[in-house]
């Protein structure tokens, strides 16, 4: 009888990747994934600590799991409950104290040890904890990722962060910056492509700071890695996320202009448009430096779809500071963006700053910012109507005969067609822009629209 594994993933794409790798570690032990915790032999919550809300969700879920575990034990069975990821790293033993239903707490750097930790959790009572930052890299100990049947895959190339933005827990939960060696990444990418993957998104908490050991013994930057990966036969598309403005070097900017596989989409968080707040955040650049950087990248790739992250209500943020953020958004224009109310994270410098902003003010500012960003996103999507774009078809849609893919700009595109289109690039003429997706029809050959700067036609 296979053992049932339920993994729930919170937070960023890195956690999605990690959950996949945890499954790979557990498959040889006879675990098969299931989509409900009810009746599972092993439950793993792969958690996120970035904002308070994300961390609290874990405890609510543990509350729901408690009666399921009690029932399982009442029937003579056993269920191991594990908390993995960034809450595990940040809160450690505290989790077991607060939620005794938890048997195992494992940080993001040691999930290659899961088999041994699970065995210990079966033997011992009182909870097992592993939140080490071991010298050996987990990547040297994990099995090769298994085929997951998808068209688009994540590949983690870099982890951790040395930037220490004053609001952020990542340097504490994920540790110091670490880049995987080039050969290891290329081997993983080739394997994914061999399994039918056509698009790879390179992941890292600060991915454009990538500086992994190359086969020539030198450190390679992200641009060089991308150029190398672009040579893999059958790999149609490359993306990367998430980047820091300070690490956007000239070679990476040039790659946006001259590597056809690198998609015209960039997630480049700025967080705020106020120089004072940027300094208090320790972002190490000004608002104008960011504006100039975006201009330079758009010179290399005029149709670039820009995405970003914003925080409103950082300690000390005044109305005038917030107005600067709106001004920057108006100047730069985004195709999509994520925006958040500042959330004080224990142990980070900003959490103990005096001038915390009232929640009511944060709510108001977030609504104003989201309205502006939403309007920009709508305009960006509307500008693609009438254009013919290459769409990578990823899955069947909800309606019969419908398929869903992605445009180069990461927009979801719905079209009618057979499921044999899966994994192929189809030229699609966009007929309608909805709030979060586009609708289109397959175009005749040679109908592709030459890339145009979409923000200007908006
Ligand atoms: N409060 C609110 N948002 C945060 N982020 C990171 N830390 C915090 C925090 N303490 C946001 C940033 C980051 C994104 C991943 O999450 O915008 O870019
Ligand atoms: Fe956090 Fe990103 Fe700043 Fe690193 S660069 S500290 S991950 S916000």
CA atoms within 13 A on the CB side of 23: 21
In testing the pocket of ligand 1, which one of 280, 309, 336, 363 has its CB within 8 Å of the most ligand atoms? 309
Supply the DSSP symbol for 377. Answer: H
- Tell me, in angstroms, the distance from the centre of ligand 2 to residue 381's CA: 29
Q: Which helix (H) or strand (E) holds 97?
A: helix 93-98
Burial grade of 254 (CB within 10 A; 0-12, 13-18, 19 or more): middle
- Tell me, in angstroms, the distance from the centre of ligand 1 to residue 343's CA: 8
Pairing of strands 211-213, 219-221: antiparallel
- Tell me, in angstroms, the distance from the centre of ligand 1 to residue 397's CA: 32
| 176 C-beta closer than 6 A to ligand 2 | no
* Crossing angle between the packed helical segments 319-332 and 287-300, to the nearest 10 degrees: 10
- Tell me, in angstroms, the distance from the centre of ligand 2 to residue 324's CA: 21
- Among 237, 300, 298, CA closest to 454: 298
Which residue's CA is minimally distant from atom 7 of ligand 1?
168
In this prediction, residues 37-54 reach a mean pLDDT of: 96
| 267 C-beta closer than 6 A to ligand 2 | no
In this prediction, residues 70-88 reach a mean pLDDT of: 95
Residue position matching structure tokens 């009438």? 386
Residues with CB under 6 A from ligand 1: 50-51, 167-168, 269, 271, 309, 311, 340, 342-343, 345
- The dihedral region occupied by 401, where left means phi > 0, alpha psi between -120 and 50, and beta the remainder, is left
Q: What would the pLDDT profile of 333-355 be if each residue is shown by its tens digit?
A: 999 999 999 999 999 999 998 89
413/391 Cα distance (integer angstroms): 7
Q: Which atom of ligand 2 is nearest to the CA of 283?
A: 3
User: What pLDDT score does 315 carry?
Assistant: 98
In this prediction, residues 405-417 reach a mean pLDDT of: 97
User: What pLDDT score does 455 carry?
Assistant: 63
- Ordered by where they begin, the domains of the chain are 3-130 (3.40.50.12160), 138-382 (3.80.30.20), 388-442 (2.40.50.140)
458/453 Cα distance (integer angstroms): 9
Residue position matching structure tokens 């190398």? 228
In this prediction, residues 90-118 reach a mean pLDDT of: 95
User: What pLDDT score does 435 carry?
Assistant: 84
- Tell me, in angstroms, the distance from the centre of ligand 2 to residue 165's CA: 5
Residue position matching structure tokens 């990578």? 392
User: What pLDDT score does 147 carry?
Assistant: 62
CA–chain centroid gap for 300, Å, is 25
Output the average pLDDT for the chain.
Answer: 95
**64, 42 contact by CB (below 8 A):** no
- Tell me, in angstroms, the distance from the centre of ligand 1 to residue 418's CA: 41
What confidence tier does 47 reach under pLDDT thresholds 50, 70, 90?
very high
Among the residue ranges 258-262, 321-325, 353-357, the one predicted with the least confidence is 353-357
228/189 Cα distance (integer angstroms): 11
Residue 457, pLDDT > 60, answer: no
């Amino acid at each position: 009888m296979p053992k049932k594994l339920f993994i729930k993933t919170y937070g960023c794409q890195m956690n999605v990747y990690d959950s996949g790798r945890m499954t790979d570690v557990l498959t040889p032990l006879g675990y098969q994934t299931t989509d409900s915790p009810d009746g599972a032999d092993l439950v793993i919550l792969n958690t996120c600590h970035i904002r308070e809300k994300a961390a609290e969700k874990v405890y609510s879920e543990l509350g729901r799991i408690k009666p399921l575990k009690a029932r399982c034990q009442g029937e003579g069975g056993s269920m191991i409950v594990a908390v993995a990821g960034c809450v595990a790293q940040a809160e450690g033993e505290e989790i077991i104290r607060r939620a005794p239903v938890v048997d195992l707490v494992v940080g993001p750097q040691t999930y290659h040890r899961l088999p041994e930790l699970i065995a210990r959790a079966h033997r011992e009572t009182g909870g097992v904890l592993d939140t080490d930052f071991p010298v050996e890299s987990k990547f040297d100990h994990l099995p090769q990722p298994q085929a997951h049947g998808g068209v688009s895959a994540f590949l983690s190339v870099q982890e951790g962060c040395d930037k220490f933005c004053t609001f952020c827990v990542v340097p504490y939960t994920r540790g110091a910056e670490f880049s995987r060696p080039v050969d290891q990444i290329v081997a993983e990418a080739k394997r994914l492509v061999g399994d039918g993957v056509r698009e790879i998104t390179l992941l890292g908490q600060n991915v454009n700071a990538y500086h992994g050991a190359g086969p020539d013994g030198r450190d390679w930057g992200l641009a060089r890695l991308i150029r190398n990966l672009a040579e893999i036969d059958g790999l149609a598309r490359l993306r990367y996320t998430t980047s820091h403005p300070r690490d956007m070097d000239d070679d990476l900017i040039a790659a946006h202009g001259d590597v056809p596989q690198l998609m015209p989409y960039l997630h480049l968080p700025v967080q705020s448009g106020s120089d004072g707040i940027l300094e208090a955040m320790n972002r190490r650049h000004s608002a104008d430096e960011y504006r100039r950087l975006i201009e330079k990248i758009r010179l290399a790739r005029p149709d670039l779809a820009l995405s970003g992250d914003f925080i409103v209500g950082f300690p000390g943020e005044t109305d005038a500071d917030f107005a600067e953020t709106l001004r920057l958004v108006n100047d730069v224009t985004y195709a999509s963006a994520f925006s958040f109310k500042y959330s004080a994270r224990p142990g980070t410098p900003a959490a103990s700053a005096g001038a915390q902003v009232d929640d009511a003010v944060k709510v108001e500012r977030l609504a104003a910012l989201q309205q502006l960003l939403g309007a920009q996103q709508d305009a960006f999507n509307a500008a693609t109507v009438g254009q013919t774009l290459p769409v990578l078809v990823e899955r069947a849609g909800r309606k019969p005969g419908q398929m869903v893919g992605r445009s180069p700009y990461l927009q979801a595109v719905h079209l009618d067609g057979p499921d044999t289109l899966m994994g192929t690039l189809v030229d699609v003429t966009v007929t309608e822009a909805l709030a979060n997706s586009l609708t289109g029809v397959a175009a005749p050959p040679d109908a592709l629209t030459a890339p145009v700067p979409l923000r200007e036609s908006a």
